[in-house]
Amino acid sequence: MAASGAALPEMTSGVSRERSRKGLQTTDKSAWSLSKEEIAKFINSQKQNICVGVLQHGFHRSFSEIFQLVRLDQERREAAEVNSAVSLQTPLEEQQHKMESISRHLSRAEQAKRDGQWPLAYKQRLILGGYFTDEEDLWLSLHFYLTCTDAPEEGCLGHATEARACLAELYLQQGQLDKAREQAELCVQLADGGGWSDSSGRSLRHRARESLWSIYSRQADSCFKAGDHNEALRLLHSGYTTATESENKHIEGEAAYQLGLAYYSLGDHDTSEQYLNTSMQICSTTQDIDGLGKAYKAMAKLCESKGNLNNTIHLLETLVDISRSNSLHHHLVDACLCLGNVYTNMRQYDRARERLLQGYNVACNIGDKTLVHKAQVSLASAHTRCIMRKYSADVESDMPLALSRLLDWKVTRGRHDATDDDVVSDY
């Protein structure tokens, strides 16, 4: 440090001589001297400068928390597998904008506590929780939300409730369903008694229920996969009740749809029909065309299982019209393919081919390779059945025209494209 101190005057005098040589004068020699603070900015790390600044302003609690977060970041990176995404992350202390944001809002929160403005203090932490949205920063978001959940001070319970709503959504995003459910259920209990809104003005009572419905739905999926059908149904019914209380008709329609599918898979077609009808009514009222399309397809499949093919065809034809008029191309392809298969099973091969060809063309237009392949298989099957039906009829016939068609087919077979109309008429 002594050597550095000796070199600084030399540098300063050198600058002064250069200015004199160029004819520039200065009357204040101190204007060309660097302060200790300015020197520190160049010598110290970003973490040191930020921490020193926080301490200089007397925010000792903020300093301790920043130091703790830097240590936690180092520990989590060291504990991660070698060359994993976490281990390769840039250390928090080297990310200036994040460190500055943390120090700024923590300092404001500490000052607010000194002034007795507790709601403002927790608001700063909520701001920090919402600031860190990138995947690599979710641990920071969780930290700041968790520090808001135990807010005993008067007037802060709304902030604590909002923090729990945010935690439920974060845990759900990470697939930690049990933790997400715990936070969402606590949030519902608190929000029902307080009637608060979040920072954006959204009702916490409704927001918590929307999250809780998503959690119940995900847990029910896991139970179905594990073969625990009773628990899955219980969760879906809880989800449906929660969805109706959320006053969000979109998720209410989806919850009814999921119950309909669940009862269909368990063979309870009457109960399935009840919930699918409810879903269709809700989606129709709210103009949720995508949800309506899903409900129509499920109901059509149910009617087909019950042997009611007339209702099946009516539902699918209606879905074709709805999908076409609303440019729902994937629903349109599915409806056409389903209709084609129904007509094929009814041995109405011409109608089957017509709908399957329509679905194939739409699938090609939207470039969905999976749907194109699916349509090709169904179309080829229907086309083959159509040819075989007409070929068998001509073989059994003693009419000259039938014999002529058989002879023509023998000469020209294999030369036609499978989608030409003349192939169907002359097999």
Do 274 and 295 sit in the same domain of this protein?
yes
For residue 337, is it within any domain?
yes
For residue 234, is it within any domain?
no
Do 372 and 406 sit in the same domain of this protein?
yes
Higher pLDDT, 13 or 187: 187
Strand partners, 32: none
Q: pTM higher than 0.85, yes or no?
A: no
Spatial distance between the Cα atoms of 27 and 374, rounded to a whole number of angstroms = 86
Higher pLDDT, 186 or 45: 186
Do 371 and 425 sit in the same domain of this protein?
yes
In this prediction, residue 366 has a pLDDT band, given cuts at 50, 70 and 90, of confident
Do 275 and 373 sit in the same domain of this protein?
no
Give the mean pLDDT of 241-256. 96
For residue 393, is it within any domain?
yes
How many separate domains does the chain show?
A: 3
Do 379 and 401 sit in the same domain of this protein?
yes
- Please name which of 342, 337, 344, 341 lies closest in space to residue 375, comparing C-alpha atoms: 337
For residue 164, is it within any domain?
no
Please name the residue ranges forming H helices in 174-203: 177-194
Give the mean pLDDT of 134-150. 94
Boundary of a domain, candidates 307, 330, 351: 307
pLDDT of res. 377: 81
What are the tens digits of pLDDT across the range 97-111? 999 999 999 999 999
Give the mean pLDDT of 67-73. 94
Spatial distance between the Cα atoms of 218 and 173, rounded to a whole number of angstroms = 11
pLDDT of res. 343: 87
The secondary structure of the chain in percent helix, strand, coil, rounded to multiples of 5, reads 80, 0, 20
Do 295 and 335 sit in the same domain of this protein?
no
Based on C-alpha coordinates, what's the Rg of the chain?
A: 35
- Please name which of 35, 36, 30, 99 lies closest in space to residue 65, comparing C-alpha atoms: 99
Question: How open is the CA angle 100-102-105, to the nearest 5 degrees?
Answer: 105
Give the mean pLDDT of 221-242. 96
pLDDT exceeds 80 at position 404: no
Looking at residue 204, its amino acid is L
Do 341 and 377 sit in the same domain of this protein?
yes
Looking at residue 378, its amino acid is S
pLDDT of res. 3: 42
Give the mean pLDDT of 206-211. 96
| Six-digit token string for 95 | 């990310």
Give the mean pLDDT of 151-164. 88
- Within a 10 A sphere around the Cβ of 58, how many other Cβ atoms? 13
What are the tens digits of pLDDT across the range 169-208? 999 999 999 999 999 999 999 999 888 999 999 999 999 9
pLDDT of res. 2: 41
Do 425 and 332 sit in the same domain of this protein?
yes
pLDDT exceeds 60 at position 323: yes
For residue 347, is it within any domain?
yes
Do 340 and 398 sit in the same domain of this protein?
yes
Spatial distance between the Cα atoms of 389 and 427, rounded to a whole number of angstroms = 9
Spatial distance between the Cα atoms of 225 and 141, rounded to a whole number of angstroms = 32
Contacts of 231 (CB under 8 A, 6+ apart): 220, 223
Do 279 and 366 sit in the same domain of this protein?
no
Q: What's the CATH code of the domain at 295?
A: 1.25.40
pLDDT exceeds 90 at position 20: no
Residue that the structure tokens 């409900």 belong to: 295
For residue 85, is it within any domain?
no
In this prediction, residue 120 has a pLDDT band, given cuts at 50, 70 and 90, of very high
Residue that the structure tokens 């729990």 belong to: 164
For residue 28, is it within any domain?
yes
Give the mean pLDDT of 83-108. 92
b/e map 357-370, b = 16+ CB within 10 Å: bbbbebbeeeebee
pLDDT exceeds 60 at position 257: yes
Do 330 and 421 sit in the same domain of this protein?
yes
pLDDT of res. 62: 92
- Please report, rounded to a whole number, the percentage of residues in the chain having pLDDT higher than 90: 57
For residue 196, is it within any domain?
no
* Domain span holding position 296: 249-307
What is the DSSP-derived secondary structure letter of residue 93? G
| Residue 329 parent element (H or E) | helix 329-345
Strand partners, 203: 197
Do 275 and 336 sit in the same domain of this protein?
no
